[in-house]
């Protein structure tokens, strides 16, 4: 999500050579956006108790186009990663939309990510306060305060500023949920690459990596076949012992403790997880599509596989070093660097598209082990990865061992009614956008659900490419430009009609 999440390992619009690739420590690390100074908002720690305790929620704003009380507020929702001042406003295209609408842009960071820590120094023992309910209530409380601060609460004769929430990946889902759950606060929502049907538990477990694999095949024909051969000759082979894996893939010693004491198959499965979630990252960043001399990192990873299929161990080792490594350069591939923080951390975590590393990875592991369950697996047939069936019992055991919690995959959709069948009955004025090259499109809303629940799709698009972290450029694909224009026009029309 989501990602969401470490999932956008490369900046969404970056075209990179293989040597420049590698996983980022958080979803927004290295993202340019529109750098801006950070502000602090006094946010409630717990919205569902009588406690007056508050914490500093970091946020950003852009007032350059705000036309004053009564004009719109565009709220970009933060997600599963820290947002530093060097990144600032995530989506420059929304600053351009603000200029069109005379709008204020605000962007709160998500609780338990980055500097926005409700319970003091980060600890997995305090993550009970990390729920979608609390995150949505944060946004509602923040937006109500912003309306008050800018003189447009709509109370006592003051004008009212209409609010539009905006998000990509997991925040795209949050954006849609803000409109559903807080219709008195939010007037319209923009949900880019929102994993709606994943959280509604309505997606085939093998659909995500099928899209990732098909996208790789479009980037370079022959790529899926090459990677299937490489996996068969390495991770799935009879020779995939711990000794062979450690030597042939140049894994750093010591291995993470649970792998050092584990089986050969456990180590193969965890390397397989690194392979698949690194490809998930490359898939989300596969925009603009490769043209001429400008090649995406996904294309380059595919080209290396096609060229190196006869030397599967060498090719897999090179892939890990080039695209999956975290941190400074190392003489070996460090599996421990792939871990989120906290006791009991494992590479395979709640989100099998990858949770990320450090504290942000731990927070996302918690969210996807509790209420935001994503059924994602691999079979090595419809996809090109190490076969590992989705197993809800595995998640139950992981959640218990890691956080002493129980997954509740149906709790939110049953309570809130955000399945595609229910959405037209409970909400309105949401645009859903999807890049069809994106694995998350397997769980996106792809068709209009009503006259005011609109879906716009772009075959050339990757993960919320219409909400790129870069300014619009001549490299943008025409269908993504058209999708963005249609979504923004719908939002502008709704705001004008209020």
Overall average pLDDT of the 1-5 stretch: 34
Buried b (16+ CB within 10 A) or exposed e, 369-387: bbbbbbbbbbbbeebbbbb
Q: 156 and 219 share a domain? A: no
Rg of the chain in Å (alpha carbons): 22
pLDDT tens, position by position, 122-166: 998 999 999 999 999 999 999 999 999 999 999 999 999 999 999
The Cα 152–Cα 148 span in angstroms is 6
Position 148 scores a pLDDT of 98
CATH of the domain at 471: 3.40.50.1820
The Cα 272–Cα 138 span in angstroms is 37
Overall average pLDDT of the 165-189 stretch: 98
The Cα 189–Cα 5 span in angstroms is 20
Q: How many residues does the chain have?
A: 498
Q: 232 and 109 share a domain? A: no
Position 294 scores a pLDDT of 82
**Which structure tokens are listed for 75?**
């709220």
Place of tokens 């120094």: 121
At a CB cut-off of 8 Å and minimum separation 6, what does 485 contact? none
Residue 27 banded pLDDT, cuts 50, 70, 90: confident
- Residue 22 maps to a domain: no
Are the beta carbons of 281 and 351 closer than 8 angstroms?
Answer: no
Cis peptide before 342 (omega within 30 of 0): no
- Residue 21 maps to a domain: no
Residue 2 banded pLDDT, cuts 50, 70, 90: very low
Mean pLDDT of the chain: 93
Are the beta carbons of 431 and 456 closer than 8 angstroms?
Answer: yes
Percent of the chain with pLDDT over 70: 94
Domain count, the chain: 2
- Residue 162 maps to a domain: yes
Q: 289 and 235 share a domain? A: yes
**Does the pLDDT at position 15 exceed 70?**
no
Position 471 scores a pLDDT of 85
Overall average pLDDT of the 201-211 stretch: 98
Place of tokens 């351009």: 96
Structural domain of 385: 207-372+374-403
Are the beta carbons of 477 and 460 closer than 8 angstroms?
Answer: yes
**Which structure tokens are listed for 489?**
């026009």
Strand order in the sheet with 104-108: 39-44, 54-62, 104-108, 73-76, 163-168, 188-192, 430-435, 453-458
Q: 243 and 337 share a domain? A: yes
Q: 332 and 367 share a domain? A: yes
pTM: 0.95
Cis peptide before 157 (omega within 30 of 0): no
Overall average pLDDT of the 260-286 stretch: 97
**More confident position, 78 or 19:** 78
**Does the pLDDT at position 5 exceed 80?**
no
For the chain, how far is it from start to end, CA to CA, in angstroms? Answer: 31
pLDDT tens, position by position, 431-470: 999 999 999 999 999 999 999 999 999 999 999 999 988 8
pLDDT tens, position by position, 291-327: 777 899 999 999 999 999 999 999 999 999 999 999 8
Per-position DSSP letters for 398-463, written without gaps between them: HHHHHHS----TTHHHHHH--STTTHHHH---EEEEEETTSGGGGGS--S--BTTEEEEEETT--T
- Residue 11 maps to a domain: no
**Which structure tokens are listed for 244?**
């062979």
Q: 165 and 37 share a domain? A: yes
**Does the pLDDT at position 21 exceed 60?**
no
**Does the pLDDT at position 58 exceed 60?**
yes
The Cα 339–Cα 345 span in angstroms is 6
């Amino acid at each position: 999500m989501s990602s969401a999440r470490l999932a956008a390992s490369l900046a969404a619009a970056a075209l990179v050579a293989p040597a420049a690739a590698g996983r980022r420590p958080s979803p927004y690390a290295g993202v340019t956006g529109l750098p801006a100074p950070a502000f602090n908002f006094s946010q409630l720690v717990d919205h569902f108790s009588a406690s007056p305790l508050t914490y500093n929620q970091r946020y950003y704003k852009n007032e350059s186009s705000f036309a004053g009380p009564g004009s719109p507020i565009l709220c970009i929702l933060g997600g599963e990663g820290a947002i530093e001042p060097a990144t600032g406003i995530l989506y420059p295209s929304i600053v351009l939309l603000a200029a069109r609408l005379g709008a204020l842009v605000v962007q709160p960071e998500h609780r338990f990510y980055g500097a926005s820590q409700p319970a003091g120094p980060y600890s997995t023992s305090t993550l009970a306060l990390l729920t979608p309910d609390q995150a949505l209530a944060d946004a509602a409380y923040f937006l109500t305060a912003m309306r008050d601060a800018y003189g447009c609460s709509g109370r006592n004769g003051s004008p009212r500023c209409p609010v539009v929430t905006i998000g990509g990946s997991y925040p795209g889902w949050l954006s849609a949920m803000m409109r559903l759950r807080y219709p008195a606060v939010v007037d319209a929502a923009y949900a880019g690459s929102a994993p709606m049907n994943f959280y509604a538990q309505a997606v085939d477990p093998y659909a995500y990596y099928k899209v990732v694999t098909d996208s790789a095949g479009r980037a370079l024909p022959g790529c899926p076949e090459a990677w299937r051969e490489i996996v068969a000759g390495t991770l799935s082979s009879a020779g995939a012992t711990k000794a062979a894996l450690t030597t042939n893939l140049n894994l750093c010693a010591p291995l993470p403790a649970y792998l050092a004491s584990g089986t050969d198959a456990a180590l193969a499965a965890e390397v397989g997880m690194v392979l698949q979630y690194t490809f998930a990252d490359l898939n989300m960043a596969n925009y603009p599509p490769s043209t001429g001399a400008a090649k995406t990192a996904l294309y380059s990873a595919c080209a290396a596989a096609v060229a190196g299929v006869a030397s599967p161990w060498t090719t897999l080792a090179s892939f890990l070093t080039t695209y999956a490594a975290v941190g400074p350069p190392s003489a070996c591939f460090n599996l421990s660097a792939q871990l989120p923080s906290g006791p009991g951390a494992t590479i395979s975590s709640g989100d099998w598209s990858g949770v990320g590393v450090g504290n942000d990875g731990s927070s996302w592991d918690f969210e996807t082990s509790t209420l935001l369950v994503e059924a994602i697996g691999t079979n090595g047939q419809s996809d090109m990865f190490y076969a590992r069936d989705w197993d809800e019992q595995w998640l139950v055991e992981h959640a218990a061992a890691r956080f002493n919690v129980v997954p509740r995959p149906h709790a939110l959709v049953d309570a809130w009614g955000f399945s595609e069948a229910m959405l037209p009955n409970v909400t309105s004025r949401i645009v859903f956008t999807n890049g069809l090259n994106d694995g998350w499109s397997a769980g996106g809303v792809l068709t209009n659900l009503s006259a005011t629940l609109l879906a716009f799709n772009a075959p050339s698009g990757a993960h919320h490419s219409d909400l790129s972290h870069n300014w619009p450029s001549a490299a943008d694909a025409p269908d993504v430009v058209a999708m963005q224009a249609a979504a923004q026009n719908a939002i502008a029309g709704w705001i004008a009609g209020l």
